């Protein structure tokens, strides 16, 4: 049987399968590493929380230089090194536990190391996709990749919980390590090699980082989208730091019920990935981005109102729909950035965007935790929900509601209701 679309491309299929396996394995470690700290090392809540801080801290430490380094290297080699490196780091946890030498310091080092390698992997990964599929199939390719992510988020937490129960937390981490080995095996099967651009003899890291920053900040549409995404990341992290606390303490949901709520959101993400190409074709790229952000932010106002009874179901539905909108937004804006950016700058541009966007996560998490402790989790969630409403402003100021087709080149004028776009 002939496979059509991007999955018919051998090289993209290897990337897609490998990425899906590693994402599923990573959802196990999201549960397993904190449980290793709690159960095997008897860590306190604050010590466990530092695991997340160390992993997200990597975005602030190496987010910008990682993109510049990725542009100097073959992206396939970077992906392989990042996968194998993460496998080795995670594999050290059960090995140290069996030898009775595991410490919290090692767990923090593993979290930071995995975070750093994930940044390199992400910058190379998003830069590599256009090489494998071409501009005309980027939306479909990113939709396929987001679908894999949604499946992992949907099935992973439940499967991870069972594996931790059956195998114990340290041995469950082994599965994540093996998933990265499997990902490396599939990426190793990719046949395509990137055409190397001429390399300047005067390459300086600071200058290369500035080139990536200038590209992102200098393009009005890309700048507006990046600002909007950074705002969503900031206030989304504020909400994420307190929503489970609210559901568990104020609302009184069990761990299983909370898992079901967020499992439904993962299924909604899968639906969003499937609908993204259709929504883009129907509304146009600019209006689809604005609509996705606006609807997602408005749905977020439901979160601080959740209480016992039927309001829990309202939250579950609104959260799921918000995730679906977020996936649609992510597919469109990542595809736009990949089309817009010249190959020799992709690593730096992706690294810059990730630094500006994901660097907001530790800040938002810290602010949300502080507000929750000083006032209440519900107060923190109200601040986060109202703040997220401002994410639509950079898109409006950049004129995206009028752009059925976003520019494909840095020097292109945005297509605002062009006749050929309107006929699409």
8 Å CB contact between 273 and 150: yes
Buried b / exposed e over 227-266, threshold 16 CB at 10 Å, is: bbbbbbbbbbbbbebbbebbbeeebebeeeebbebbbbbb
Angle between helices 346-358 and 220-245 (to 10 degrees): 40
Distance between CA atoms of residues 372 and 383, nearest Å: 10
Buried b / exposed e over 146-159, threshold 16 CB at 10 Å, is: bbbbbbbbbebbbb
Position 407 scores a pLDDT of 78
Contacts of residue 160, Cβ cutoff 8 Å, sequence gap at least 6 = 27, 28, 30, 31, 32, 172
Position 418 scores a pLDDT of 39
What count of other Cβ atoms lies within 10 Å of the Cβ of residue 420? 9
Query: What radius of gyration, in Å, describes the C-alpha atoms of the chain?
Result: 21
Position 424 scores a pLDDT of 30
8 Å CB contact between 146 and 292: no
Give the β-pairing of 403-405 and 415-416: antiparallel
What pTM does this model have?
0.74
Buried b / exposed e over 375-413, threshold 16 CB at 10 Å, is: ebbbebbbbbbebbbebbebbeebebbebbbbbeeeeee
8 Å CB contact between 399 and 414: yes
Distance between CA atoms of residues 219 and 223, nearest Å: 6
8 Å CB contact between 185 and 32: no
Distance between CA atoms of residues 52 and 54, nearest Å: 5
Position 132 scores a pLDDT of 84
Position 421 scores a pLDDT of 33
Position 420 scores a pLDDT of 33
Digitized pLDDT (tens) for each residue of the chain, 424 residues in all: 445 677 788 888 898 888 888 887 777 777 677 777 777 777 765 676 677 677 777 877 887 787 778 877 888 889 999 999 999 999 998 899 889 898 889 988 998 898 889 888 887 887 788 888 877 778 788 888 877 777 776 666 666 666 766 777 777 788 888 989 999 999 999 887 766 555 554 567 777 788 888 888 888 999 999 999 999 999 998 887 677 777 777 777 765 676 677 767 777 877 888 888 888 889 988 999 999 999 999 999 998 988 877 777 888 888 889 988 998 998 888 888 888 888 778 778 877 888 888 888 878 877 887 888 788 888 989 999 999 999 999 999 999 999 888 876 655 544 444 333 333 3
* CA 181 remoteness from chain centre: 21
- Of 209, 236, 175, 222, which is closest to residue 334 (Cα–Cα)? 222
Please return the burial class of 197, using the count of CB atoms within 10 Å of its CB with bins 0-12, 13-18 and 19+: exposed
Q: Which spans in 36-103 are helix H?
A: 45-72, 75-98
Distance between CA atoms of residues 118 and 100, nearest Å: 28
Distance between CA atoms of residues 279 and 244, nearest Å: 31
């Amino acid at each position: 049987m002939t496979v059509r679309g991007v999955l018919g491309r051998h090289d993209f299929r290897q990337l897609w399968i490998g990425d899906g396996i590693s994402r599923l394995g990573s959802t196990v470690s999201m549960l397993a590493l904190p449980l290793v700290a709690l159960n095997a090392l008897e860590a306190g809540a604050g010590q466990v929380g530092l695991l997340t801080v160390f992993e997200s801290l990597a975005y602030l430490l190496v987010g910008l230089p990682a993109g510049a380094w990725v542009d100097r290297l073959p992206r396939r080699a970077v992906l392989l090194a990042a996968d194998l490196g993460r496998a080795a780091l995670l594999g050290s946890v059960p090995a140290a536990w069996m030898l009775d030498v595991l410490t919290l310091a090692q767990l923090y080092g593993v979290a930071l190391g995995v975070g750093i390698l994930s940044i390199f992997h992400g910058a190379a990964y998003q830069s590599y996709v256009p090489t494998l599929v071409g501009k005309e199939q980027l939306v479909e390719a990113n939709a396929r990749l987001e679908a894999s992510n949604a499946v992992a988020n949907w099935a992973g937490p439940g499967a991870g919980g069972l594996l931790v129960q059956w195998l114990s937390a340290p041995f469950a981490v082994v599965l994540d390590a093996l998933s990265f080995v499997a990902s490396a095996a599939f990426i190793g099967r990719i046949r395509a090699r990137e055409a190397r651009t001429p390399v300047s003899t005067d390459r300086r890291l600071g200058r290369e980082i500035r080139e990536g920053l200038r590209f992102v900040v200098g393009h009005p549409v890309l700048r507006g989208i990046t600002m909007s995404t950074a705002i969503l990341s900031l206030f989304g992290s504020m909400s994420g730091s307190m929503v489970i606390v609210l559901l568990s303490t104020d609302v009184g949901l069990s761990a299983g019920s909370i898992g079901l709520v967020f499992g439904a959101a993962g299924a909604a993400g899968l639906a969003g990935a499937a609908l993204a190409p259709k929504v883009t074709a129907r509304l146009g790229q600019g209006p689809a981005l604005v609509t996705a952000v606006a609807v997602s932010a408005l749905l977020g106002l439901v979160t601080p109102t959740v209480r016992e009874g039927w309001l829990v179901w309202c939250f579950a539905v609104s959260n799921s729909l918000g995730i679906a909108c977020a996936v649609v937004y992510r597919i469109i804006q990542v595809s736009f950035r990949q089309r817009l950016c010249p190959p020799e700058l992709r690593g730096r541009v992706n690294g810059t965007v990730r630094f500006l966007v994901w660097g907001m996560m530790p800040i938002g998490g810290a602010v949300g935790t502080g507000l929750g402790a000083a006032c209440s989790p519900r107060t923190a969630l109200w601040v986060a929900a109202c703040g997220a409403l401002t994410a639509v402003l950079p898109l409006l100021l950049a004129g995206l509601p009028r752009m059925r087709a976003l520019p494909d080149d840095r020097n292109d004028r945005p297509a605002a209701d062009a006749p050929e776009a309107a006929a699409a």
